[in-house]
Amino acid sequence: MHDFVVVGCGPAGSRFARRASEAGYDVLAFEQGTVGEPLACSGHVSTDVWEYAPDGARADLLQNEVSGARFHLGDADSRAHRFHKDEVISNVIDRVGLDRALAAAARDAGADLREDHTVLDVAEHRDHVTVEVRGPDGTETHRARMVAGCDGPKSRVRRALDLPEPDELLHGVLGFTDERDAGDFVDVHLTVPRFFAWRIPRGEAGVEYGLAMPPGHDVRARFEDFTDGYGVETDRRCSGLIPIGPPKRVTGRRSFLVGDAAAQTKPFTGGGILYGMTAADHAAREIDPTDPATLGDYERAWRDDLREEIRLGHLVRAGYSFPEPIQRAGMRAFEGEIGVHMDRPTTLFSREQLRALVPSLR
């Protein structure tokens, strides 16, 4: 019997599989198709991502470096508000390559990671779980002490075990062009209902355009209008769901959720790579597969780490729906040099941000 079965090998699942294997546990992991495919997530990440990636990954995956953002409100001809640092804030990366590098690191650590295996059902029992899987050789049933649901917004593990759903699911669309752009600013457009659209320069790899909104809107039509405003036509389009708002419980009797399955994402951007891998590390440290009581330790650990970031992230997102005059006043008050971290809204109250706002303190 395995210690853990991991369902889903995106960043959160592969990170947990790696860390649990390094801790000496027997880990079996399943990915429905090929790791990293189909692409359904932006490749704009904070520089902290390299702390979680294997050695040498940055040289292989980096596409561009970003030091600021232009925020656009209302009319396309109106002045953009610029926010920047005198250093690199974030990186644009090969997103598919990141998933594959993290999966390779999990395998190198000893995890048995199998692609082209679709999980059909999961069941909890008194002292183990069973996971029914369809692979290239037919249907199999595996036993483990615990199961980790790292299988995204529409998590089969979450639904099979009747764990609570995220507060909200946004619908996102991505598209790409081949135009070369090594600019160091991303563009953010607060011109769609309750979220935003974006343009990200990816150096020699082209440009990424994206948009996300709550259900009930014609997301694809909005995306067409957005890219038309730039005078471009995208190809290689993809779409996906973005979970916002973790449920009150992400653990069962012998199960736990990590990453998008647990809605461990930033409410103000929808990004979940760093939060998901952060939670994966907490799970690997706290959970003993022979002791279900340690699932509560995982719940406490990841929430203690990310609770304030997520709470403040909701407040930042609320500003996207403020009337435009209020948005402009706020933008004018803060634009220019900043000291915030793109994954940590609590840094709005940091010494670095205070020094950025008050030049005499530098």
Structure confidence by residue, pLDDT tens digits, 73-97: 986 657 899 999 999 999 999 999 9
Q: What is the pLDDT of residue 360?
A: 43
The reply to whether 328 falls in a domain is: no
Identity of the amino acid at 304 = D
The reply to whether 90 falls in a domain is: yes
Q: What is the pLDDT of residue 13?
A: 98
Question: CA-CA distance, 14 to 35, in Å (whole number)?
Answer: 10
Q: What is the pLDDT of residue 353?
A: 75
User: How many domains is the chain built from?
Assistant: 1
The reply to whether 334 falls in a domain is: no
Q: What angle do CA 213, 44, 194 make, to 5 degrees?
A: 20
Q: What are phi and psi of 347, to 5 degrees?
A: -70, -5
The reply to whether 329 falls in a domain is: no
Q: What is the pLDDT of residue 149?
A: 98
Question: CA-CA distance, 17 to 323, in Å (whole number)?
Answer: 45
Q: Is the peptide bond before 38 cis (omega within 30 degrees of 0)?
A: yes
Q: What is the pLDDT of residue 76?
A: 60
Q: What is the pLDDT of residue 328?
A: 92
Q: What is the pLDDT of residue 75?
A: 67
Identity of the amino acid at 329 = A
Q: Which residues of the chain have pLDDT under 70?
A: 75-77, 354-362
Q: How many residues does the chain have?
A: 362
Question: CA-CA distance, 36 to 42, in Å (whole number)?
Answer: 12
Beta strand residue intervals within the chain, DSSP E = 2-7, 27-30, 44-46, 62-66, 68-72, 81-84, 90-93, 112-114, 118-124, 129-135, 138-149, 168-177, 185-192, 195-201, 207-213, 235-244, 255-257, 336-337
The reply to whether 160 falls in a domain is: yes
- The CATH number of the domain holding residue 250 is 3.50.50.60
The reply to whether 342 falls in a domain is: no
Handedness of CA 281, 283, 285, 289 (dihedral sign): negative
> Please, what is the angle between helix 95-108 and helix 11-22, to 10°?
20
- Residue-wise pLDDT for 268-320, tens only, equals 999 999 999 999 999 999 999 999 999 999 999 999 999 999 999 999 999 99
The reply to whether 74 falls in a domain is: yes
The reply to whether 336 falls in a domain is: no
Domain that holds residue 178: 2-318
